[in-house]
Structure 1
Amino acid sequence: MLRTLITAFGLIGITHLHAQAMRGEVTDAENLIGLPGATVVVVGSDPIIGTVTDQDGRFSLTGVPLGRTTLHVRMVGYEDQVLNGLVLTSAKDLVISVRLQSALTELDEVEVVGDASPNGVRNEMALLSARQFSVEETDRYAGSRGDPGRMASNFAGVQGADDSRNDIVIRGNSPMGVLWRFEGVNIPNPNHFAIPGTGGGPVTILNNKYLANSDFFTGAFPAEFGNATAGVFDLRMRNGNADKHEFAAQLGFLGTELMAEGPLSKKRRSSYLVSYRYSTLRLFGFMGIRIGTDAIPQYQDAAFRFHFPSKKGSISLWGIGGSSKIDIVISDQATPDTATLIYGENDRDQYFRSRMGTVGATATRTLNENTYMKATLAVSGQGINSDHHYVYRQVVDGHYMVDSLPPLLRYRFSESKAMLYVFANRKLGLRTSLRVGVNSEQQWAAYLDSARAILPAAVDGDPNTLGTWRVRWDARVTALQLQPYAQVRHRFNEQWTATLGITSLHNSINANSFSPIEPRFGISYAPDTRQRISAGYGLHSQMQPGYLLFYGATTEGRDPLEQNTGIGPTRTHHGVVGYERRLGQRVRMKVEAYYQWLFDVPVSVAPSSFSFVNTGAGFERFFPDSLHNKGNGYNQGIELTLEHAFTKGWYGLFTASLFDARYRGSDGVWRNTSFNGRNAFNLVLAREFTTAKKSVISIGTKFTYAGGRWYGPVDREASNAAQEVVFIDSLVNTRQFRPYFRADLKLGYRWNRPKVMHELGLDLVNVTGQQNILKLTYAPDHPSGDPIREEYQLGFCRCSTTRWSSEGTFLAFNRNLASTLPTRSPRYAHP
């Protein structure tokens, strides 16, 4: 008897060790009403693990084996949905949300063994050039480091612009053309150490631990997205666990992270989720690891979400934000060290601050079985401040002697918005759905900047040779932006689907910031369940950043003369055709070809090679001359994706892009854009091995090969006078750097124990130590005597993680032996 009891309790313990719970809800994709009676089954389970949703469309599965799982959701009158590659650990319940599309005809019973494509795009109006990505994907790819931007660079048509930043180039477009949307509203650049007019940065403010499955668009996107010409990140925040409290803590060399989530009321299914992260690289200095500068970058960010569901809708309160700072002080250096000064300039002390935040309230209300409305009220703000002090010094016996530190530059940029986004969605029978809405923003901005020129004699140490102060920005701006839109989706039959949309964009900042009619169109034909042909078109526009409009290239007295206040939006025609085919149950192939015509691009009034299509990536600010909207450009190319779904322990992704991106400035000459690499190839592989005790060993690799950036011959006389690289204008972008290559490796080991999970990981970035050229830079103090040097991208770096987590509590210790910054990468070398 005693032996029987011991055996029984032992079996219970083993079952709990090797299994976990899955919870979620199943809703109609077009009216968000919960679907009672839907069957939810774990594919391949024996005996079968399954359940039926309750009257609210909710379900709960227990005893699901740990590891990767495929879920099959089926409902009479709706299309089946298969969720592939779901990851279960012993430390946390898996909570998912499933949206089903109405079926036009009843489908035959089929055997489901996996799904060759990623989960369907959340936005039903997107028929091509769109992809849904999961939180798990941001961690899956080697080198992504949980960053959505770096993760997206693995997709066809997408490239990283700079290893030290997460800006992305989509189909040859400037990174400035990417729109960031969070919880349904447009947000400022969600990155630490952001530079005015850019869409990326070295460290993301976003934390993948609180993101839900989200959409990423690379062109011809639906009408609800305006003010973007390249692509869209449509990010969603997940709700907290409504059944149990869970906590997280992460300690490590890059800082501390805290997270908590759980139910506010189990009866009402309300929940909370809060997250805070503080990071510093100070410990690298203690360990003697070089990060390119003696300055210590510091940043912190936070997020929250409170969700209150009801019978006919829900209300959510949410927010994200972060701040960062870095002080690059060279005046306290004992000896010159230009070889390791990767960030900053070697003639000044620099103090930089940035901040960003958005908070909002979202209300969703079901009006009837066919209609629901959604309204989001939000406020956002972004601020960027910087101060520079010129260092007068001399070298005596190999040591610096600082004479004085006069102020050289100061700027204070701030932008804020109050936003109201409202739409109504109506289901017009089984075949048609309609969405009508308006996105409104009240905008405020203040730009203040003044600087002193460094005269030639200042380089020789004369403290009286800095120029007089010149005010370059001094503007306070108020504007109203409106974007009404309407879009409809119609399914003619099981084979043919079409979408049609129209939007308009108006900003009161000037009379030219108006795009009256922007049509969007998509059509899809599926001759059978294994293949699909699609085509789409969109007219898109993007308003210019405020700092461009109010820069004063010259002054009258103290006041800057603003020459660009009448600049209007950049506009593009974007056409795409695509073909997608399933090659067996687990592999899919996708090919897309596109052509994009850019017009009304800001270019110089005086004949010049300058065009706004080449800006938006890097740490440098842009100081525009007198501009007008008379530039053109085009991007054309073809993309291939081959993807093996994460089944039977492995995942594979191969993408190839062949493209051409050119522009025409005010001098009438067609040139390569700075981002016209002409080709890009990615190979991503991931393999998992599960032990008898449900522990998991994982190995991931990524290989990237891409064409180099473009540049031109240097005007050395002008460069010496300006103390920065100046190219011969007529020969801009006539030369190309050597091709870019990088190999990354990711290793991991995960132990699953009752209610506890322990994970070890190691990320090796640029394992071959490849010296990829980023740009040319000016270094007057370089020992070789040649001030024009090549600046390299990220060198080899390694990042190890150790994490523990458990039900009810979560502890994670993250030990990073390097960050996004290089361990060693000399800034200068002979070109």
Structure 2
Amino acid sequence: MGSPAFAQTGNIRGRISDATVDNPIKGATITVAEDSTIRTSTGADGTYRLSKVPVGRKTLIITFVGYERTSVPNIDVITGKDALADVKLTASFKSLTEVVISVGPPKDRPLNKLAAVSARQVSPEEISKFAGGRSDVARLATNFAGVSAPDDSRNDIVVRGNSPTGVLWRIEGIPVPSPNHFSSLGTTGSPVSALNVNVIGNSDFITSAFPGEYGNALGGVFDIAFRKGNKDVYEYTFSAGAFTGAEAMAEGPLAKKGSFLVAARYGLAGLFNAGGTTALPNYADLSFNFDLGKSKLGNFSLFGIAARSNINFRGDGIDENDLFAAKDENTDVVSKFGVIGLKHLLAVNSYSSIKTTIGASSSSENVDRERIFNYDTPRSTTLPFTKINNNESRITLSSVYNARYSNRFNLRAGLLLERYNLKADLTSRERQADSDNDSFPDYINLINSNNSYTIFQPYVQGQFRIAEALTLNAGLHGQYVSLNSEFVPEPRASLTWRIAPAHSLSFGYGLHHQNVPAPILFLNQYINGSPVQTNRDLDLVRSNHYVLGYDLRPASGWRTKIEAYYQSISNAAVEANPSSYSSLTEGATFGFSIDKFGLVSKGSGRNAGVELTIEKFLDNGWYGLTTASVFEAKYKGSDGITRNSPFNNGYVVNVLAGKEFKVGSGRNVLFADTRLSTAGGRHYTPVDLQASRAAGYEVLQDNIAFSRQYDAYFRMDVKFGMKINSSRKKVSHQFYIDLQNVTNKKNVFVRRYNRLTNNVDQADQIGLFPDFGYKLQF
């Protein structure tokens, strides 16, 4: 039987490293602020372990000569699992022997110290904590300023008025396809994430003017890091939830110096009708990170994800309000996502390091859809309607050199080489004529691609601390795409001025480019009966980002931030003849246009707005976050008319708050969280009902594209639960109930032509849904 001291204590572990080169710092002192007698120092590999720390929220103080004194608050110490606190220290400015004052909570600052504007750090606890978040990092991001979600049924995000297709996902430093279940070629979101929060470490989310190492993106960057397993003891986690599914995780020491971390999930959402459809979705994923420890050759680690999902829609079992299916169709969908990588970190000397990662990733989807023509009549005929067989694979090499030449100057230089292999096939009767007069639309091959191409991205960026209060980041990113043999240089720069200890100003600029989505590039146009990819050589879409920010810290644990931004976009794909179409509008629905041929790179757009963030970091048991964005997103097609982008909501407001209450002997915690979100409605193109009835499929009034707006979006979520720390064993429990859309507000999903009713019908998003979960850690 454990002693009372053991029963109410836990452990904190982590790694202390240099913020620039990531080399371990030996001899750093780590102290628990609430009890200065609990302290330790780091070993040669930079790791530390604090034992017998009383359960509850704790603050660490980390000090080392020549580095800024850093505090890390709100570390949640429990009995069932070691708390993890990895910290990167920044060299002090004036001399190598001076230690400056505490820099305060680091969670709002990105891990990437070269990301000075429009960036913040995302922690695994945040992903799990917020009400309505479904333990999904993409859904968490919708709480941040400048970010909105098209609808509740998927985790696509709109960043500052850009299409969701403009988001870049990276895992451990390498770009990957959309890391989601049920994902489609060209998209960046889906109904269910394949990223397991139990494996994710602290990561970065950047919304504009990205640093020099990021490319081929216009909207935002998710830079996801995997955490390392516990190298001291074995630990296990079992959990279950309506959205998160059934989960199991194991971690512990590997060989003499390393660690392993393996986590598996199986989806349960279909059992609780949680996905906006009456069909039963099945999905499972496996994530891992094997750290092989430090050796003379450096530190190697192997990481990866394997994910598979499928769903079968049957028309006779579909509800008429189903968001994804119809009564006159039967559809089978299978999708896969995978990534595996080998990372190597080598300390060249005390002030520089090289990180090299080689990886392979893939994403595939197979869709077989048949339609029942003349549904529910004696003439009903079932025919194949759509067949999709897409497989995108990449081999990626990334190598980064980091150096801290002085306490004033840091340098990062690297290269990223991606070799794509895209096998894409789409055959469909959608929107096709009946040229053979058999009374049914022709079954036409729209995409038939077997292409290999290369994207090469070299970059260099430096950080120069002009004065203790003035920091300049400047760099150059290059991007070469073999598909159209285009090379573009992209300058990046930011300047941060700390006017006073609690006040700072920042300015950022970045030039960015991105490919037009693959389903548009490789679309077939039939010329003299032969398929031709007339969009293949389109230019990269070009975007200039400008950001001005003011940061105020009015009191301990509080932060206020205001950012204004302007984004000018050119080289968007538009039709050669005057029309309202632009590739900037792709991503407004879950598919891509199939009738846009011979496009030219002459379109433009602009996004502008102001964002406010007021954040109360967790302290004395409570936290709060309020974000508000007012913005405008416009575009021009080849007709030269300025129109609303489909992503021009106009405003987004989020209010989150939470409270923790100690109960019983003080070792257990009752918690409550709430989230309120409202936004202007999405813009949409009205249906031409008469033309749709005549054609038998939806025809839009493209001459007045995106001229209508849905009603404003509103949603409120309430979550409450309890954390229980065992009084006798190294065990902890957690229970929660998450009442999503607690007011049962029926937000608009879409207004679309219904071929069965021959009318324009409205489909609403899901109403009140009670999510729940349980977690056991030991």
Shorter-chain TM-score range = over 0.9
Tell me the alpha carbon deviations over residues 568-597 of structure 1, each in whole angstroms, 9 at most, x when there is no partner: 211100000111011111111111101000
- CA distance in structure 2 between the aligned counterparts of 1:108 and 1:489, rounded to whole angstroms: 20
- CA distance in structure 1 between the aligned counterparts of 2:475 and 2:626, rounded to whole angstroms: 32
User: Match for residue 471 of structure 1?
Assistant: 445
Q: CA deviation at 1:560?
A: 1.9
Q: Select 2:365's aligned residue among 384, 389, 408.
A: 384
Q: CA deviation at 1:376?
A: 0.6
- Alignment check: 8 A CA contact 1:82 1:119 kept: no
- Alignment check: 8 A CA contact 1:174 1:230 kept: yes
- Of 347-356 and 360-369, the range deviating more from structure 2: 347-356
User: Match for residue 70 of structure 1?
Assistant: 59
Q: CA deviation at 1:653?
A: 0.4
User: Match for residue 309 of structure 2?
Assistant: 324
Does 1:660 find its partner at 2:655? no
SS of 2:143's equivalent in the other structure is coil
Structure index of larger Rg = 1
Does 1:315 find its partner at 2:300? yes
User: Match for residue 79 of structure 2?
Assistant: 90
User: Match for residue 256 of structure 1?
Assistant: 246
1:105-504 alignment, distance < 5 Å = 105=94, 115=104, 118=107, 120-251=109-240, 255-265=245-255, 268-281=256-269, 283-284=271-272, 292-311=276-295, 313-330=298-315, 332-333=316-317, 339-392=320-373, 395=376, 403-452=380-429, 464-504=438-478
User: Match for residue 750 of structure 1?
Assistant: 723
- CA distance in structure 2 between the aligned counterparts of 1:632 and 1:463, rounded to whole angstroms: 41
Q: CA deviation at 1:703?
A: 0.6
- CA 1:573–1:162 in structure 2 vs 1: closer, same or farther (change >3 Å)? same
1:592-603 alignment, distance < 5 Å = 592-603=563-574
Task: Identify unmatched segments of 5+ residues in structure 1.
Answer: 1-8, 807-831
- CA 1:278–1:308 in structure 2 vs 1: closer, same or farther (change >3 Å)? same
- CA 1:764–1:463 in structure 2 vs 1: closer, same or farther (change >3 Å)? farther
Residue identity (%): 35
TM-score by length of 2: 0.95
- CA 1:797–1:300 in structure 2 vs 1: closer, same or farther (change >3 Å)? same
Tell me the alpha carbon deviations over residues 160-180 of structure 1, each in whole angstroms, 9 at most, x when there is no partner: 121100011111111111000
SS of 2:520's equivalent in the other structure is helix
- Alignment check: 8 A CA contact 2:580 2:638 kept: yes
Q: CA deviation at 1:301?
A: 1.0
- CA distance in structure 1 between the aligned counterparts of 2:718 and 2:578, rounded to whole angstroms: 48
Tell me the alpha carbon deviations over residues 172-225 of structure 1, each in whole angstroms, 9 at most, x when there is no partner: 111111000000000000111112221100000000110010000010010100
- CA distance in structure 1 between the aligned counterparts of 2:277 and 2:567, rounded to whole angstroms: 41
Q: CA deviation at 1:555?
A: 5.2
User: Match for residue 810 of structure 1?
Assistant: none
- CA 1:199–1:721 in structure 2 vs 1: closer, same or farther (change >3 Å)? farther
1:461-610 alignment, distance < 5 Å = 464-511=438-485, 514-554=486-526, 556-557=528-529, 559-610=530-581
Q: Structure 1: which amino acid aligns with 2:186?
A: G
SS of 2:467's equivalent in the other structure is coil
SS of 1:733's equivalent in the other structure is coil
Tell me the alpha carbon deviations over residues 133-175 of structure 1, each in whole angstroms, 9 at most, x when there is no partner: 1000001211111101000000011111211000111111111
- Alignment check: 8 A CA contact 1:524 1:533 kept: yes
SS of 1:727's equivalent in the other structure is coil
Task: Identify unmatched segments of 5+ residues in structure 2.
Answer: none
TM-score by length of 1: 0.89
- Alignment check: 8 A CA contact 1:659 1:676 kept: yes
- CA 1:212–1:592 in structure 2 vs 1: closer, same or farther (change >3 Å)? same
- CA distance in structure 2 between the aligned counterparts of 1:293 and 1:41, rounded to whole angstroms: 51
- CA distance in structure 1 between the aligned counterparts of 2:116 and 2:332, rounded to whole angstroms: 46
SS of 1:283's equivalent in the other structure is helix
Q: Structure 1: which amino acid aligns with 2:283?
A: Y
Q: CA deviation at 1:735?
A: 1.9
- Alignment check: 8 A CA contact 2:163 2:586 kept: yes
Q: CA deviation at 1:402?
A: 9.0
- CA distance in structure 2 between the aligned counterparts of 1:745 and 1:713, rounded to whole angstroms: 35
Q: CA deviation at 1:723?
A: 3.6
- Of 306-315 and 419-428, the range deviating more from structure 2: 306-315
User: Match for residue 643 of structure 2?
Assistant: 671
- Alignment check: 8 A CA contact 2:491 2:511 kept: yes
- Alignment check: 8 A CA contact 1:117 1:586 kept: no
- CA distance in structure 2 between the aligned counterparts of 1:281 and 1:555, rounded to whole angstroms: 46
Q: CA deviation at 1:740?
A: 0.8
- Alignment check: 8 A CA contact 2:588 2:646 kept: no
Does 1:766 find its partner at 2:756? no
- CA 1:641–1:547 in structure 2 vs 1: closer, same or farther (change >3 Å)? same
- CA 1:220–1:72 in structure 2 vs 1: closer, same or farther (change >3 Å)? same
- CA distance in structure 2 between the aligned counterparts of 1:110 and 1:99, rounded to whole angstroms: 15
1:50-65 alignment, distance < 5 Å = 50-65=39-54
User: Match for residue 823 of structure 1?
Assistant: none
Q: CA deviation at 1:229?
A: 0.5
Q: CA deviation at 1:469?
A: 2.6
Q: CA RMSD in A?
A: 2.3
Q: Select 1:38's aligned residue among 18, 28, 35.
A: 28
Q: CA deviation at 1:98?
A: 1.3
- Alignment check: 8 A CA contact 2:354 2:401 kept: yes
Q: Structure 1: which amino acid aligns with 2:267?
A: S
- Alignment check: 8 A CA contact 2:67 2:99 kept: no
- CA distance in structure 2 between the aligned counterparts of 1:391 and 1:219, rounded to whole angstroms: 46
User: Match for residue 818 of structure 1?
Assistant: none
SS of 2:692's equivalent in the other structure is helix
SS of 2:4's equivalent in the other structure is helix
User: Match for residue 611 of structure 1?
Assistant: 582
- Of 753-762 and 667-676, the range deviating more from structure 2: 753-762
- CA distance in structure 2 between the aligned counterparts of 1:752 and 1:110, rounded to whole angstroms: 37
- Alignment check: 8 A CA contact 2:588 2:647 kept: no
- CA distance in structure 2 between the aligned counterparts of 1:229 and 1:195, rounded to whole angstroms: 19
Q: CA deviation at 1:468?
A: 3.3
- CA distance in structure 2 between the aligned counterparts of 1:189 and 1:688, rounded to whole angstroms: 35
Q: Structure 2: which amino acid aligns with 1:54?
A: G
- Alignment check: 8 A CA contact 1:433 1:490 kept: yes
Tell me the alpha carbon deviations over residues 789-826 of structure 1, each in whole angstroms, 9 at most, x when there is no partner: 122223111111122222xxxxxxxxxxxxxxxxxxxx
User: Match for residue 4 of structure 2?
Assistant: 14
- CA distance in structure 2 between the aligned counterparts of 1:360 and 1:307, rounded to whole angstroms: 12
- Alignment check: 8 A CA contact 1:515 1:541 kept: no
Q: CA deviation at 1:251?
A: 4.8
- CA distance in structure 1 between the aligned counterparts of 2:88 and 2:391, rounded to whole angstroms: 40
- Alignment check: 8 A CA contact 2:612 2:628 kept: yes
- CA 1:549–1:712 in structure 2 vs 1: closer, same or farther (change >3 Å)? closer
- Of 737-746 and 724-733, the range deviating more from structure 2: 724-733
- Of 603-612 and 660-669, the range deviating more from structure 2: 603-612
Q: CA deviation at 1:660?
A: 0.8
Tell me the alpha carbon deviations over residues 470-521 of structure 1, each in whole angstroms, 9 at most, x when there is no partner: 221122101111000000011122111001110111111123xx24210000
Q: CA deviation at 1:363?
A: 0.6
- CA distance in structure 1 between the aligned counterparts of 2:136 and 2:586, rounded to whole angstroms: 22
User: Match for residue 821 of structure 1?
Assistant: none
- CA 1:295–1:566 in structure 2 vs 1: closer, same or farther (change >3 Å)? same
- Alignment check: 8 A CA contact 2:653 2:677 kept: yes
Q: CA deviation at 1:617?
A: 4.2
User: Match for residue 88 of structure 2?
Assistant: 99
